[in-house]
Chain A
Amino acid sequence: MLLRRDVFQAIADPTRRAILLLVASQAMTAGAIASNFDSARPTVSKHLQILTECELLNQEQQGREIYYQLNPQKMKEIADFIEPFRMLWDDRFNKLESIMKSHQLKK
């Protein structure tokens, strides 16, 4: 059975977040990515697999090498998750502000 991975679960891991930061500036091969970490190569491969499965990374074949790059669309989705929560509080605080402004005038 294919495990359906959660994006939030994917970015909860510090190594995976570091990988995302690494490839944010340029597409990299698995080997180049792994050379930035002390972890064993298979461990890094596992992280790359998870990030690819939840579409945070895209794979691109260039000659004999596979390059990993960030999927900005998916990254934006994470930010969008937080946006409704932010708007909820923004609405409440805007209301608080206008209520207290008229409260101030009444005094």
Chain B
Amino acid sequence: MERKTQVHAEAGKQEILITRTFELPVELLFKAYIEPEIVEQWMNTKVLKLENKRQGGYQFETTDPMGNKHLFSGVVHELVPNHKITRTFEMENTPFPVQLEFLEFEALTEQTSKLQMQMVFKSVTVRDQLLKMPFAQGINMAHNRLEKIFTEPNGN
């Protein structure tokens, strides 16, 4: 079976390509990107600012499981409803350089749609570091979960 979310990270290239098909009309898929309350739900973040227009800015504040707050922000360069968003993305207060994101929305049928997200990085090294982050975090989280199970007698 083909996976709904696919990630292509060709070796030696400074980009990541994410594609996903949705059982949603493209209008609804796009809406999930521009309505702050909806973004907050699926991105699991607080939306401090979301200006859906050229040269508009956005800023999210995400609290990690340890209670630390992280800020993410960027500027919109292009926004064509139901078609595309081009924007920068930056993790504030980290050594990671800003990245460029091209989001392309496409209607497949009346009830299905596709999203392609192209992330472009400053260098191959930066891309590979970012790619490995969830891997490292995954190990961390598994560790924390284990810790919880062993310290809380009734933990599950």
Contact = CB atoms under 8 A, between A and B. Distances in A.
A100 B115 CA distance: 15
Contacts of B133: 85
Given A84-B134, A85-B135, A96-B32, A103 B38 contact: yes
Interface in A54-107: 80-82, 84-90, 92-97, 99-101, 103-104
A38 interface: no
Residue of B32, B42, B133 with highest tally of chain A CB at under 10 A? B42
Interface string B7-45: 101011000101010111100110110000010011110
A50 to B, nearest CB: 14
B24 A87 contact: no
A17 B138 contact: no
B134 A87 contact: yes
Nearest to B138: A84
B5 interface: yes
Contacts of B32: 96, 99-100
Contacts of B24: 97, 100-101, 104
B55 to A, nearest CB: 26
Interface in A1-51: 8, 11-14, 17
Interface residues of A, number: 27
Q: Would you call the interface of chain A mostly helix, strand, loop, or mixed?
A: helix
Contact of B4 (A12, A85, A90, A104): A90
A82 B28 contact: no
Contacts of A88: 134
Nearest to A11: B11
B69 interface: no
A93 B7 contact: no
B132 A17 contact: no
A80 B138 CA distance: 12
28 contacts: A8-B128, A11-B11, A11-B12, A12-B12, A17-B11, A17-B12, A82-B9, A85-B7, A85-B16, A85-B131, A86-B6, A88-B134, A89-B20, A90-B4, A92-B43, A93-B4, A93-B22, A95-B42, A96-B22, A97-B22, A97-B23, A99-B38, A99-B42, A100-B22, A100-B38, A101-B24, A104-B24, A104-B28
Interface of B: 3-7, 9, 11-12, 16, 18, 20, 22-25, 28-29, 31-32, 38, 41-44, 115, 124, 128, 131-135, 137-138
